[in-house]
Amino acid sequence: MDIFKFGGASVKDAAGVKNLANIVRDYKKANLLIVISAMGKITNKLEDLTHAFLAQNDEAHAIFEEIKHFHFNIIDELFQGKHHPVYDDVANTFVEIDWLIEDEPDNNPDYIYDQIVSIGEVVSTKIVAAWLNETGNKTLWADARNYIQTDNTYREGKVDWAKTNQIIQKDLVPLLAENIIVTQGFIGGTSENYTTTLGREGSDYSAAIFASCLDAVALTIWKDVPGVLNADPKWFDETEKIAQLSYHDAIELTYYGATVIHPKTIKPLQNKGIPLFVRSFIQPEGSGTAITKENNPLPIPSFIFKVNQALISIFPKDYSFIIEENLSNIFELFHRHKIKINTMLNSAISFSVSIDDHPVQIEKLIKDLSEEFTVKYNKGLELVTIRYYNQQTIDRVTVEKDILLEVKSRHTCQMVMKNKKV
């Protein structure tokens, strides 16, 4: 049993779908489960649609028509005008959104988000499954919402592992003996048959869930890069591929913001000792990166950049110490406002954190914090994390920068910085 996961970039157009089919054809096995994301940037478009609908914006229907047009163009190019059942299948899927946006929003916005945005994965997998069958690969489409069971935490569904494992073993394993299975990333279902999502970019995590429950031999994530690189090419002109990573280092890198793998992906694989391979769908013959239990340190430093950061510094109004009680209250507020901390540092009378700059959430957080604390903040910052750092690597990224916060451990250095004023 092997699991393949293909992201949106790999199926952004008809050529990408054909390339996926070629990779599957060369694999030449039936017992393969393929997890697929929404096509291209469709998740962003569906988010735009959700926001327009919630705001009762006139643009909602125009955005939806653009989304439908995008997918039917890909189907036209694949099937060359032949009337294939996938046309009706996709059209019927889109009807679910048509019904929803015809009425005024009358439910939890996070619930509405999940019902709309999840359609991207459903449609992409219907198209890919149809094309795989068209090209001679015996394929079944499976609805991930019937297998990955979650609670009712919309936009961040928490997986019921026992129930998920039971259903996959009972209902999915028999299908895999003679078929390739195509299913969705990012989405799950509740006991009431409502759709949930597993968090933004959660398709990698979906693939890891299936891999764990199926005791897969391996999980391969197909990307538009040759493997895991030591830095994002958009920040560094020269990058190096890392041939092998330990689970530990992979978890550290994803936790600090490396985008090549979703942060929740590693743990389910580590629990079962399932190797993860990151390979290029552009050059599928390449060796990629292997992530395994072998605990070798990284051969080269790795750099992770997060821009659009806000630095919030919190001080007790009465100059009392930042101790357990204060920290407990502070963390409770961050949790309540669903704000994730990227790095933090505390002293006797201050606690500073770097977070992604979401203005609406931050404004509400600061309002609540200010009831008990003095709060100061800076915006427009960047957070740089260096795994296996040395002074040379620090000097490399701090040219013309002012360091506002610095946190170091044995292997990792994090710095919140801004450009020096000229």
| CATH number for position 148 | 3.40.1160.10
Domain annotation covers residue 155 = yes
Give 268-295 pLDDT, tens digit per residue.
999 999 999 999 999 999 999 999 998 8
* Short-list 239, 268, 366, CA closest to 314: 366
Spatial separation of the C-alpha atoms in residues 34 and 220, rounded to whole Å: 10
Cβ atoms within 10 Å of 226's Cβ, excluding its own: 17
* Model pTM score: 0.89
Q: What is the mean pLDDT of the chain?
A: 94
Cβ atoms within 10 Å of 154's Cβ, excluding its own: 21
Range of the domain at 369: 302-419
Would you say 97 and 63 are in contact if contact means Cβ atoms under 8 Å apart?
no
* Same domain as 310, residue 182: no
Confidence of residue 359 (pLDDT cuts 50, 70, 90): very high
* Same domain as 309, residue 186: no
* Short-list 191, 198, 195, CA closest to 163: 191
* Same domain as 180, residue 45: yes
Q: Is the pLDDT of residue 353 over 70?
A: yes
Looking at 169, 188, 223, which one is the last position of a domain? 223
Q: Is the pLDDT of residue 10 over 70?
A: yes
How many domains does one find in the chain?
A: 2
Domain annotation covers residue 268 = no
Dihedrals phi, psi of 181, to nearest 5 degrees:
-105, 130
Would you say 382 and 364 are in contact if contact means Cβ atoms under 8 Å apart?
no
| Paired tokens of 41 | 């940037």
Confidence of residue 150 (pLDDT cuts 50, 70, 90): very high
Give 302-328 pLDDT, tens digit per residue.
999 999 999 999 999 887 888 788 899
| Paired tokens of 101 | 């946006």
* Same domain as 211, residue 320: no
Confidence of residue 422 (pLDDT cuts 50, 70, 90): low
Task: Provide CB contacts within 8 A for 38, sequence distance 6+.
Answer: 8, 46, 120, 121, 123, 124, 186
* Same domain as 350, residue 215: no
Spatial separation of the C-alpha atoms in residues 101 and 49, rounded to whole Å: 9
3-state secondary structure of 96: helix
Give 389-398 pLDDT, tens digit per residue.
999 999 999 9
Confidence of residue 237 (pLDDT cuts 50, 70, 90): confident
Domain annotation covers residue 279 = no
* Same domain as 210, residue 115: yes
Cα 128 to Cα 104, 188, 228, 315: the distances in Å are: 33, 19, 26, 54
| Paired tokens of 153 | 């935490």
* Same domain as 16, residue 114: yes
